[in-house]
Structure 1
Amino acid sequence: MTTFQQRVTAVGALLARVMAVTTLCVSAASLNAQPLGAGARPVGADWSRSPVYGARGMAATAQPLASQIAIDVLKQGGSAVDAAIAANAALGLMEPTGNGIGGDLFAIVWDPETQQLYGYNGSGRSPAGRDFSAMLRSIEKMKSQGQLPEDYQGIPSHGSLAVTVPGTVDGWFALHERWGNLPMGEVLAPAAEYAEVGFPMSPVIAAAFAANKRRFEQRAPMIEELDNANALYFPAGTAPTVGSVFRNPDLAKTLRILGAEGRDSFYKGVLAERMVGYFEAIEADLTAADLAKHSGEWVEPRGVDYHGVTLWELPPNGQGFAALMMLNIIKQADTATMERGSPELFHLMVEAKRLAFEAMAQTFADPNFADIPVEELLSAEFAKAQFARINSDSVLTAEALAVPLEGEGDTTYLTVADESGMMVSLIQSNYRGMGSGLVPKGLGFMLQDRGELFSLDPQHPNVYAPGKRPFHTIIPGFVTRQGKPWMSFGLMGGGMQPQGHVQVLINIVDFDMNLQEAGDAARFLHDGGSSPDGGSPGDYGTLYVEPGVPATTVAALRALGHEVVVDESGGPFGGYQAIQRHDETGVYSGATEMRKDGTVAAW
């Protein structure tokens, strides 16, 4: 065979192979071939990845640059609290779709020196000068002027009626005063620098920006002015895109003022003056006196034992105790005999959630304004009585059960640990989306809309009142084992948080998942019904599950009466971060999940 013939033969063979591959591809397409799935792992679940390990320090946040900032602060001699504040400040810039200094903050800190947990409630209050009657008059006026639909229920989700005093800055300085090592100016400097020079936008946050732009356009009639927000976050009428460089020089100036002049610059000084000028310009009710009077408070975490560990949550006005009630109910059953993906376990967890949230809907509020029966709600007797109500063959009917959930919420959760053994569990939010839509000119942040969560039912403990903190969704979590710190963790996203805390803990404790797998595993979110801010107690709502829940389980849950929707978006199921400490070695492992942009950084 000549060289030419060899070449022809080779080309022919190559064409034959190409045609064969093409035929296979066409055949596969005609058979509706499934998209390419996950690869295999040498250890662990194929749908997850390895936890991160480090001995001297660790940070897990929803944005990789914020995690790096936290580690840099630790390397400079900062404490875990310094690093957590630095990361939170960066997230207010890099993830303003979920948090910022116009919002509130809650934290749990393990102090290795005293071997104790400490809790901080950094939530703000409603304007002292607007009473319940004034609130109703304002809502009716907005309806008469076409700013609200005639059938709108509750406090407007956007605009000044939903704004409460921002508590985050107070929380930073309270934590820093107790455990900070570095000057606050140094702690806030990395976020200020990024705000000035810019950072590249990450995918999940970019998608949230676009969603918030659509929401503000829809809710524009509620909002006194949107020009400031549009100029800051949506210049040229577009949301930031993936990989684009986003800058916020106004926030850089604000952070530098805070670093140089301290907490009072925000509540009594130059920053307060600018906020008050803005309130007056848009005829909002918050005043200089409201800002000056603000203070958060140290609170005592409460724990519930579950199969050898103790889950700790903060008391109301947050919803953390709902997770404790859920665990108390679930541990009445023998979960060791159930498969993790079984309908039996899903049914138990969902019904426990509905029962726990029922109690929350009726009782949770600012404890300074309401007598909350905490001891009863967390008692073994109450849990046994609630468990006895669960039917194995059907859901509890809506007529017999008020099913609470407070609606959506966009939040950031982060956790940091240092070489001394200090561990910080911190959660921070503007509540719905980016917040109220109101941006005080020149300050670089949006005011929260947390006041939407007040009830307008005069008989409810969470009813709106002046100088009152609304029911809160954001909850940091912490787990101890035999009295020692074991895990600092949390999830983001409104009512997902208590039910997410429980699902992750069950994954780890009962089913031996590692820290990363426990967050990546498919979750459920039960949504709908009544809540501390209103709702529809006659509705079952909807049970959202992720595609990883077995189809047989979905079918069985529907047969039991659950209204199940398989949701492939990844959106409603929160975002998880965690750091775990090895009892003997002190080595940390960390996890952050696929539903967000974040990462774990270790030292």
Structure 2
Amino acid sequence: MVEGNMRDFHLPGRSQVYGTNGMAATSHPLGARLAIDTLARGGNAVDAAIAGAVALGLCEPQMTGLGGDCFALIKPPGSETVLALNGSGRAPAAATAQALRAQGHRAVPVSSPDAVTIPGAVDAFCTLSREHGKLGLADILGPVIAVFDAGVPVAPRVAFDWAEAANTLQGTARDVYLTKGNAPSVGDMFRLPGQADVLRRIAKEGRDGFYTGEVAEDMVNSLRAMGGCHTLEDFAATACDWTDPIAGTYKGIDLVEHPPNGQGATALLLANILGHFDITELDPLGARRVHFEAEATKLAYDARNRFLADPDHTTRLAHMTAPETAEQLAQLIHPKRAMAAPAPLTEAVHKDTIYITVVDRDGMAVSLIYSIFHSFGSGIASDRFGILFQNRGAGFTLDRWHPNELGPGKRPMHTIIPGMLRQDGRITMPFGVMGGAYQPCGHVRFLSNMVDFGMDPQTAIDMPRAFADGDVLRVERGYSDAVRAELYGMGHRIEVPAGPIGGAQAIEIRADGVLVGASDPRKDGCALGL
């Protein structure tokens, strides 16, 4: 699937990381180190992924935390079967779209308790540990708790994101996540002792330490004080679900994704559309490739916005993934002219999440993504423990009768999607591309870089990115001005984003047992091997 090392050592860059007894890749070096340390202590890939992911709630608090959700794909040791765990939370039992429409809202307010769904990640971590881990929660979380108490220096990319989103924080969240009203600078120490206390309770009591008792009371009381309709019963009832992954094939490689309410089907549709074009013959850094990807993205995301929702309310999944659907949509793409956005995005889609992948010496592979949605989520934190709440409820629509309409106990359409690649029946790579709405596009771009152009995983990650985000084509500075001018001439509305697009991590599992880790330089993190 991939060729050898393509790096030019005359130029800045990073090498792939090689190991045989374990590998972890994520967006902050401390997360990667804690994952590797967990493997070295006898833990398996699930134990290591939990340790690394939870640590990122301290290292990258604008991206993730205990008040968020997660999705995971698991390949157990000795098996090529992939298990999918949906750790996304639900709307409170009293939540209705009708109530918000009656208040004059056309969309769920992103910085209000109405956007706060019940956090699902903690239940998912507890379930993963119980059913597939080796060490137990107390051993997994012990070193992580120590770091939450001691604190970490703020990393450069984290400081950049923090400053951009500091005004999102409100009330208690400003006391916890700001220093005298300001975002911390690079190298400043940041601690979360309140959440260290929460983790001690989870280590001792499991999910009950979070979803019942004093922690749950703190979360419910804080939300209700701001007008939320959340109850202790909502938190106590939270439960993750095992489900079956979905998959599609791109030029002989299977792309394995999470089913709804995640947007994995969007990646499959996008890959199917692009399969109708000879991408291999295009310049990998040229305008025509960007154009075809952008047009296919518009069509695939239009389908996402129409059909994807809570799995109990998604009825058109087979239509989205059907070959004839991709064929018909591909015919709508003009090779030299941009189309208008097929449908306006009615759901709020933003860029913030973390991703971690771990493979252990026994061949267990974990692809896990963990998020609070917008940067700093809803901006609301619980008063006592400082738990920052996600605003995943902004992923609902208020359109009457839409399958993704906000409703009691429903899960919203989710942007976070872990991925895996499979070839000839063997799982060859757990991977993920952070970036909210960008993620399906990022999955397919990463796959295409390797399949169509023979890039190794690190080179495939390093390549410049572009993203058709609604009616704007966001183009990273890695592209030339000539490419942007050509795209503009095709009718694309070009914008160079302030920050980079997404962030990726991957581990190739070679047939000879060697593990190859790749990590995105757009983030602060790395891949580490044993």
TM-score norm. by structure 2 comes to 0.95
Quote the offset at 1:307 in angstroms: 1.6
Show the counterpart of 1:253: 197
Give distance in 1, aligned partners of 2:31 and 2:82. 25
1:200 correspondence with 2:144: no
**Aligned-pair Cα RMSD in Å:** 1.7
**Letter matched to residue 285 of structure 1:** C
The one of 308, 331, 338 aligned to 1:364: 308
What SS does structure 2 have at the residue aligned with 1:113? coil
Q: Map 1:330-341 onto structure 2 (within 5 A).
A: 330-341=274-285
Show the counterpart of 1:588: 515
Show the counterpart of 1:601: 528
1:445-474 deviations in Å (ceiling 9; x for gaps): 201111112111103211111111111111
1:329 correspondence with 2:273: yes
Show the counterpart of 1:376: 319
What SS does structure 1 have at the residue aligned with 2:85? strand
What SS does structure 1 have at the residue aligned with 2:405? coil
What SS does structure 1 have at the residue aligned with 2:55? helix
Q: 1:47 to 1:502 in 2, by over 3 A?
A: farther
Give distance in 1, aligned partners of 2:290 and 2:10. 20
Contact 2:7 2:15 in 1 (8 A): no
The one of 548, 553, 559 aligned to 2:483: 553
Give distance in 2, aligned partners of 1:161 and 1:552. 45
Quote the offset at 1:47 in angstroms: 5.2
The alignment-based identity, stated in percent, is 40
How many residue pairs match? The answer is 524
Give distance in 2, aligned partners of 1:48 and 1:306. 28
1:81 correspondence with 2:46: yes
**Letter matched to residue 574 of structure 1:** G
Quote the offset at 1:403 in angstroms: 5.4
Greater displacement, 54-63 / 541-550: 541-550
What SS does structure 2 have at the residue aligned with 1:510? helix
Show the counterpart of 2:231: 287
The one of 449, 461, 464 aligned to 2:406: 464
Show the counterpart of 1:570: 499
Quote the offset at 1:67 in angstroms: 0.6
Show the counterpart of 1:491: 433
Quote the offset at 1:486 in angstroms: 0.9
Show the counterpart of 1:352: 296
Show the counterpart of 2:87: 122
1:518 correspondence with 2:460: yes
Q: 1:460 to 1:576 in 2, by over 3 A?
A: same
Quote the offset at 1:505 in angstroms: 0.9
**Letter matched to residue 451 of structure 2:** V
Contact 1:354 1:403 in 2 (8 A): no
Q: 1:356 to 1:203 in 2, by over 3 A?
A: same
1:162 correspondence with 2:103: no
TM-score norm. by structure 1 comes to 0.84
Q: Map 1:227-238 onto structure 2 (within 5 A).
A: 227-238=171-182
Show the counterpart of 2:144: 191
Quote the offset at 1:42 in angstroms: 7.2
The one of 143, 146, 165 aligned to 1:212: 165
1:298 correspondence with 2:228: no
Give distance in 1, aligned partners of 2:110 and 2:223. 18
Show the counterpart of 1:20: none
Give distance in 2, aligned partners of 1:555 and 1:196. 51
Q: 1:471 to 1:42 in 2, by over 3 A?
A: closer
Show the counterpart of 1:402: 343
What SS does structure 1 have at the residue aligned with 2:180? helix
Contact 1:93 1:191 in 2 (8 A): no
The one of 53, 62, 67 aligned to 1:97: 62
The one of 407, 411, 433 aligned to 2:375: 433
**Letter matched to residue 352 of structure 2:** D
Show the counterpart of 1:423: 365
1:267-303 deviations in Å (ceiling 9; x for gaps): 2233223323333433421101111111111111111
Contact 1:410 1:494 in 2 (8 A): yes
Contact 2:7 2:13 in 1 (8 A): no
Greater displacement, 430-439 / 544-553: 544-553
1:387 correspondence with 2:330: yes
Give distance in 1, aligned partners of 2:34 and 2:23. 11
1:166-199 deviations in Å (ceiling 9; x for gaps): 0000110111122110020111112210111111
**Letter matched to residue 601 of structure 1:** L
**Letter matched to residue 489 of structure 2:** A
Show the counterpart of 1:270: 214
Quote the offset at 1:496 in angstroms: 1.0
Give distance in 2, aligned partners of 1:337 and 1:133. 51
Contact 1:48 1:516 in 2 (8 A): no
Give distance in 2, aligned partners of 1:550 and 1:135. 45
What SS does structure 2 have at the residue aligned with 1:407? coil
